[in-house]
A and B are shown apart, each in its own frame.
Chain A
Amino acid sequence: MADYREIISAYKEVPGGIIEAYHAVQKEYSYIPEDAVVYAAQVFDMPKAKAYGVATFYSYLQVGPRGKNVIRICESAPCHIAGADKVVAALEKELGIKMGETTPDGKFTLEFAECVGQCQATPVITINSQPYGDVTADKVAAILAEYK
């Protein structure tokens, strides 16, 4: 795994590049380590509080550990009426964890999301940003099998 210091330093000269740097770190780690926020503050020459404030403002960014595969379930209105709650229940049952939790083996994290822009096929989930549409409780096991 690439060192977050190298990843962040590569964006030093990019104006306003801290968010791009966070994206790059998260792509490698699946989350942003706390120490990476402190390091980003140094690289972009800002107070730690500000670097932390930026990282925690955006719901797509996660400071602190989470699973290797991040499953996000859209709960916006179109997915809500299409039965997102049944998909949530099926995912929780299949993985044996609740929303917001990570499996003990560190493989999966379940998160709620707002609209992911695939509303032609509600309800929608994404796994590591890859969208899956028209998800039903029956399809959950097969989708997860690709990542196990």
Chain B
Amino acid sequence: MAEEMRIVLRNYGKVDPLNIDSYTQVGGYQALAKAKSMSQPDLIEEVKKSGLRGRGGAGFNTGMKWGFSYGVKADQKYVICNADEGEPGTYKDRIIMENDPQSVLEGMAICGYAIGANKGYIYCRGEYPYVVEILNKAIAQASEKGLLGDFNIEVRMGAGAYVCGEESALIESIEGHRGEPRFKPPFPPVIGLWGKPTIVNNVETFANIPAIVDKGADWYKGIGAAGYPGTKVMTLTGDIVNRTVIEVPTNTTIRQVLNDFGGGIAGGKKFKAVQIGGTSGGFIPESLLDTPIDFDSMSAIGATLGSGAFFVMDETRDIVDVIDRISKFFAHESCGKCTPCREGTQRMHEMLHRVKNGGAVAGDLDFMERLGSVMSKACLCGLGQAAPAPVLTTLKHFRNDYTAKFN
């Protein structure tokens, strides 16, 4: 039986999110003090050495990212916490912020010191106004006690655009524009918010930082999978007994998550598929369930770890109906800036709708595969590149579900 390991959620249920004293009583803000006793390059090297990779989905080495911003001379730099979690099936960042907001603030302040930034933003999704209140109270308490030093944090509210989870679109939104991704390079660590070096990290990434600084890189990199160390917070949804949130080492397998923590399929039914990483993730069949959840193992089977959402479907689910729904999501959320995504998501949805309603013609499935392949290469940002993944992985693993719809 696999066991939970709580690093990100280390204070879950142990601190009062609205009382900063309960956070300092469990050692809160000691990591920031320790970080400030180190030189900036030593601190960045420690984070790099820990092997921590971004928990928002892209999996880039966090310390390396910080190093890019540290290396740029600028009169102003920024730290942004990406709290725009919009991947359907995902609510891990909400759980972290609702239960332990100070860990996130401390992680941001450590990053601020490391790169030389005195201003931070938390971009929190508009669907979480109650989380924004918690964050603002937490910031006020930390500032009042002088715990953040000269580091200043402001909360900005997203407004229901999924694409703003993409870091350059998020930056555009903070600047008060439509949230359309920028052409890259240059990347945000060099030219970001208002043209200044900017680190954008996910909520879960920041919540890891105080623990890493406190206990050291060697401790952290010994946990979980070697290439993607640490833990991952996962949210279990769909046809599973326990619809819950867990945190496990990254060498835990998909099957362990489903059975040991999820309690298996609800209603005594059989497993059909699990989509991991949010609505842009790949669909995984029974035969691949012994894959560890870490970033690289998931990539190797053509899937993603992404946000860590587990969307479970039992044997009675109509895969084509679910994919049709997902394709509508992407057609709605495409920002329209680049043609492959703007047009591709619409056409994909049209074709899927046709298949679902029994109106598909010979060659439609091949067209879908070809369109998906073009989108995954030609779209400007991660939204369009990942949008075809559910279609492509189900065409690979559940093709019979599609052909069964043919008249």
Contacts and interface: CB of A to CB of B under 8 A. Distances in A.
The answer to whether A binds B is: yes
B176 A44 contact: yes
A52 B123 CA distance: 22
Contact of A60 (B159, B275, B332): B159
A15 B193 CA distance: 11
A23 B322 CA distance: 33
A107 B232 CA distance: 43
Contact of A77 (B85, B126, B176, B325): B325
B255 interface: no
A55 to B, nearest CB: 9
Interface string A116-127: 111111100010
A62 to B, nearest CB: 10
B159 A119 contact: no
A22 interface: yes
B329 A76 contact: yes
A18 B88 CA distance: 27
A19 B156 contact: yes
A17 B126 contact: no
B149 interface: no
Nearest to B162: A114
- B interface residue count range (under 10 / 10 to 19 / 20 to 34 / 35 or more): 35 or more
Considering residues B160, B239, B322, which has the most beta carbons from chain A within 10 angstroms of its beta carbon? B160
B173 interface: yes
B313 to A, nearest CB: 7
A53 B172 CA distance: 13
A114 B159 contact: no
18 contacts: A16-B174, A16-B177, A57-B161, A58-B160, A58-B161, A60-B160, A61-B160, A76-B325, A77-B326, A80-B325, A82-B238, A114-B86, A115-B87, A117-B94, A117-B127, A119-B90, A119-B237, A120-B91
Given A75-B325, A78-B89, 16 more contacts: A20-B156, A57-B179, A59-B160, A59-B332, A77-B275, A77-B311, A77-B322, A77-B325, A77-B326, A78-B311, A80-B322, A80-B325, A81-B317, A115-B90, A117-B90, A122-B237
